Structure 1
Amino acid sequence: MPELLTGTQMQALERAAMARGEARGTALMETAGKQVVESIYSTFPDSSAKPDRSALILCGPGNNGGDGFVIARLLATRGWQVRVVLAGERAQLAGDAAGNCQLWGELGDILPPDPEAVERALPRPDLVVDALFGTGLKRPLSTALRALLSHALDIAHHSVSVDILSGICADSGRWLGSLPPLGPVDLTVTFHRPRTGHMLSDGGTATGRLVVAPIGLPQAAPVPPGAGPVVGLVTAPAGLGDKAAAGHKYSHGHALILSGGPGRSGAARLSARAALRVGAGLVTLAAPSAAHPEIAAQITALMLRRLDSPEELDRLLADPRYGALCLGPGMGPDARTRLLLRHALAHGRAQVLDADALGCWSDAPEDFFALTRGTETVLTPHGGEFARLFPDLAARLRAPATTGPAWSRLDAVAEAATRSGCCVLLKGADTVIAAPDGRRAVHAALRERRAPWLATAGSGDVLAGLICGLLARGLACYEAACAAAWLHVEAARAFGPGLIAEDLPETLPRVLAGLSAATPGA
């Protein structure tokens, strides 16, 4: 799985490479500036080809500002009319940033960080480059710098950020301060690997098109010890589109989906259909006998069993061929669901708990966690369910982020996984997944992978079914949750506008076939 980096981890990688003699600060800064300029030309070819093109470069007092001076110099040598604003005093600059400021001074002047001065010097630039603070920002923008950046973004035809939009915490993606976030920019150019903040919260929407450019650091270099836990970026899972040639239905897993009563079976049927489509060899719906007529009228490849009491669930689970369970969709947040969940957990199967299986414990989350700790369980809350089970963690996410690194969705879900003792998937455009052993990942349905059509009733039930089907196929909880998150979004993207939840399972064969075609030798 590809890795995302925090600002601290990127700085640690750079320091380690320079200590080993594999990189020099001057060369890293020059390469970063060149990569931004090349990305500008490839992203905005019309503006770049204009004979009278102009650019406003906002430089901060650190290395991000040093990148900005390189960009200004390279654009000026290509014939751009360039104006540079420095946020701070030249005397504050040090090292490579100071050297590149001096090189720029041989070509042009430096404006004060004043919107009126900018307006007089360059009233309508084709391009603004935000090189104020990047990934090292630890505090909110001052009122003056916020006004400057806001003005620059308003007047420019195109906008570019170096590393990340200034004002956003590169670790959490949260806007620092109590005022509304600025942006989005059209293009963000970052280096070596994406940052977690590009995928989370405000950063997910403010980043615009994201280009990850090499700057000469060794690609295989691991994050140095002590720089914080590594975060994975969920991508296409390998091997899910294929089944063993000599397998039979039981060798591909048997999933058991628990259903609600009459008039409430639709959610479980969606989950069951998804589990079957994702490759489980058999899928059984267990429902109250009163709901059987309506369920039987709607299903063909699924099997149906009676579930009128917890004891009947015990008898079902006495069959060891049931490898995975899904509890919650359409069951109702009531005492029956609680009791069934207690019995299910006692049998030690892999399971996904969604919707009402979470809601029925909102008044007693610690009792719930006492049951889930140490089990092979995936919890799949949306934001509201997460807040009811983990109110203190949700409150920290709602509070304004005043300093960086700010508390993030990753931090919250990692703590939730530790507290509950099982895998937690917090749903959203920036879905976050964490395991109790410390592994964590982000699946970002953003930019080229955006899938707004998933905001439809029943899509979460399908996700729960996908996880259950993958658990039945033998995937571990964390791997099943990551793979299901990707498949869920990919099916929505493959179908497109007009999607309803029923379309997701029926689109899966096309997605799985694409995975098979992408697997060498498949």
Structure 2
Amino acid sequence: MHQEIDTLIITPADMGHIDQAAAASGLSSYGLMERAGQAVAATALRRFPGALRFAVLCGPGNNGGDGYVAARALQEVGACVAVYALGDPGALKGDAATAFAAFQGPVAPLVSYAPQPGDVVIDALFGAGLARDVPDEVAKTIEAVRRAVLPVLAVDLPSGVDGRTGQVRGAAFEAAATVTFMCRKPGHLLLPGKTLAGELEVFDIGIPARILARHADHMRVNTPAIWRLALPPQTGATHKYVRGHLAVFSGPATATGAARLSAMAGLRAGAGLVTLLSPRDALPANAAHLTAVMLKAIDNEADLAALLDDERLKTFVLGPGFGDAEKTRAYVKLLAERDRHLVLDADGISAFRDDPAVLFSFFAGGRARLVLTPHDGEFARLFPDLAADKTLSKIERAQKAASRSNGAVILKGADTVIAAPDGRALVNENAPHWLATAGSGDVLAGMVGAHLTQGMPPFEAAASAVWRHGEAGRIAGEGLTAEDLPDAIQPWPVA
């Protein structure tokens, strides 16, 4: 499949439109179901060669149709198969009815399924299109399988996981592996669906890339292919000012470490120069720990205004360990008025919790110059209505926040989402779980600042920093501390 198509994330609704468009183009919709079911059967045989029995649980829609095809394929190669149906399979319509008719074997009611040692469960009940809580009989089956500790192979998505949000609808299978078709869905990448899906296999069942691209929204998996064209050029004429001058605000003498992490990360990530803007009482503490990072005393708005007379200083990181909310608001206002780029993190975000609209007004209109890097708690301080709206997926929350703030938003977590004001969104998947450690976010803020100061647009700067941050975590290894991360930042990817 084409590399760009490989990065697509398709909502269940859009996948429905794609299926309709594929059928309208002349493709056999049953042929697509046949290939999907055969892929499930092949995966089951490859992953679970020691299965004593494949218990295929079929739902009342097309996901169930995939299950009947898989059951027939398994039966044809001599595997022991038992099929259980939710609802009356005689009431199936369309392709699912055709698949059921082609299966030559008994079908028992789902409620009669009793897990046996040696079973492998093939979950073909609901798939990615579920948008309601599972029925009680399904919830009871899920619990029985969980108690029996049986491996589950999910078709499209574990039943009970909402394919749009990744949230659990009442109860959900925890799959050892999931087989999906053509593209990933949000539920494969957003928590808790990401965890419940287990190992994910994406099969090309023959829908043309042009149809996928025509009906896809602006959601992708974060990879270098997305932002490679925005990488800073490297030529023989490159010098430190071409690579940009990044400034990071330090907190008071008792809280300087976070800003130094950001500053060092910015230098490692490619900024030509990095200056730490320090209160005078913190100068000795900062000077004792800095070598390649420069140091400048900044105590008030007048000091900052004078510094901003240097037009070469265009990008700032404010928030890590900063502490002073009133000064934060004054500094942000001044930076916005002077047309600077800003990465606002941690305390910088919390400083606007009482009136987020003030922050948004500073950067309203025109080109985006702001990058926000909240975790869920900080996000709720700036966007309380979006955080409280449980009908929104994490992707949708980030998209709405980016539009409202006219900035790029990095909504952090094990399923980090990066969103742009124009609606583009990326979900990151290369970060190891051990990146969840104190100071990791400070390093990320400095990396975003480094990319901005090298001339990358805010969305691309944010996305590339998140990806390089994940790679640094992977290279530093389990047990890392934030101090390890700057040294693990790798050069720009070239492949």
TM-score category, normalised to shorter length: over 0.9
CA contact (8 A) 1:128 1:153 kept: no
Q: Which has the higher contact order (CA 8 A, sep 6+)?
A: 1
Partner Cα distance (1:281, 1:427) in 2: 27
Which deviations, in whole Å up to 9, do the C-alpha atoms of 1:328-354 show, x marking residues without a partner?
Answer: 111114211221111111111111100
SS of the residue aligned with 1:368? helix
| Percent identity of paired positions between Structure 1 and Structure 2 | 41
Query: Contact (CA 8 Å) 1:352, 1:380: kept in 2 or not?
Result: yes
Distance 2:45 2:88 in 1: 31
- Distance, in Å, in 1 between the alignment partners of 2:397 and 2:160 is 21
Q: Which residue of 1 aligns with 2:9?
A: 4
CA contact (8 A) 2:218 2:423 kept: no
Q: Which residue of 2 aligns with 1:400?
A: none
C-alpha deviation, 1:476, in angstroms: 0.4
Q: CA contact under 8 A between 1:153 and 1:159: conserved in structure 2?
A: no
Deviations 1:337-389 (A, max 9, x none): 22111111111111110011111111111222212323410011111111111
The aligned counterpart of 2:102 is: 103
State the distance in 2 between where 1:94 and 1:468 align. 55
Instruction: Please report how far the alpha carbon of residue 153 of structure 1 lies from its aligned counterpart in structure 2 after TM superposition.
Output: 4.4
| C-alpha contact 1:125 1:156 (8 A) present in aligned 2 | no
Distance 1:242 1:494, change over 3 A: farther
- In the alignment, is residue 395 of structure 1 matched against residue 380 of structure 2? no
Indicate which of 209, 229, 232 corresponds to 2:220. Answer: 232
User: 1:260 — aligned with what?
Assistant: 251
Q: Residues 45-444 of structure 1: matches in 2 within 5 Å?
A: 46-47=49-50, 53-104=52-103, 106=104, 108-114=105-111, 117-119=112-114, 123-155=116-148, 157-177=150-170, 181-224=171-214, 229-236=217-224, 238=228, 243-374=234-365, 375-397=368-390, 406-444=391-429
Relative to structure 1, is the Cα distance of residues 129 and 154 closer, same or farther in structure 2, using a 3 angstrom cutoff?
A: farther
Q: Conserved in 2, the CA contact under 8 Å of 1:189 and 1:213?
A: yes
The SS at the match of 1:160 is strand
Matched to 1:62, the amino acid is G
SS in structure 2 of the partner of residue 428 of structure 1: coil
Output one character per residue of 1:11-63: Cα deviation in whole Å (capped at 9) or x when no partner. 11121122111x2111101100111122223333x426xxxx31000000111
Letter aligned with residue 28 of structure 2: R
Partner of 2:479: 498
Where does the alignment leave 5 or more consecutive residues of structure 1 unmatched? 398-405
Q: Map 1:463-502; keep pairs closer than 5 Å.
A: 463-502=444-483
Offset from partner CA, 1:165-201 (integer Å, 9 cap, x none):
1111111111124xxx433210000000100111112
Distance 2:298 2:340 in 1: 18
Which deviations, in whole Å up to 9, do the C-alpha atoms of 1:304-336 show, x marking residues without a partner? 111011111112121111131111111114211
SS of 2:180 mapped into structure 1: strand
2:87 partner amino acid: G
AA of the residue aligned to 1:8:
A
Q: CA offset at residue 294 of structure 1?
A: 1.1
* Aligned-pair CA distance for 1:206: 0.6
Q: 1:393, CA displacement in angstroms?
A: 1.2
- Shift of the alpha carbon at 1:500? 0.4
Distance 2:173 2:471 in 1: 27
Q: Quick one: which amino acid aligns to residue 425 of structure 1?
A: I
Distance in 2 (alpha carbons) for counterparts of 1:7 and 1:470: 34
Displacement after TM superposition at 1:241 (Å): 9.4
Partner of 2:46: 42
The code of the aligned residue for 1:235 comes to T
Amino acid at match of 2:471: E
Aligned length: 485
- Structure 2 residue runs without a partner (length 5+): none
- Please, what TM-score do these two structures have when normalized by structure 2? 0.94
What secondary structure, in the 3-state scheme, does the structure 2 residue paired with 1:28 have? helix
Residue 90 of structure 1 and its aligned partner are, at CA, apart by 2.0
SS of the counterpart of 1:201? Answer: coil
Question: Aligned letter for 1:460?
Answer: G
Letter in 2 for 1:17: A
Q: Which amino acid in 1 is paired with 2:384? A: P
Distance in 2, matches of 1:54 and 1:153, equals: 17
Whole-Å separation in 2 of the counterparts to 1:425 and 1:412: 11
- Contact 2:142–2:173 (8 Å) recurs in 1: no
Q: Take 1:336 and 1:484, find their aligned partners in 2: how far apart are those partners? A: 27
Q: CA deviation at 1:242?
A: 7.6
Normalising by structure 1, we get a TM-score of 0.89
- Give the whole-Å Cα distance in 1 for the aligned partners of 2:289 and 2:253: 13
User: By how many angstroms is 1:498 displaced?
Assistant: 1.4
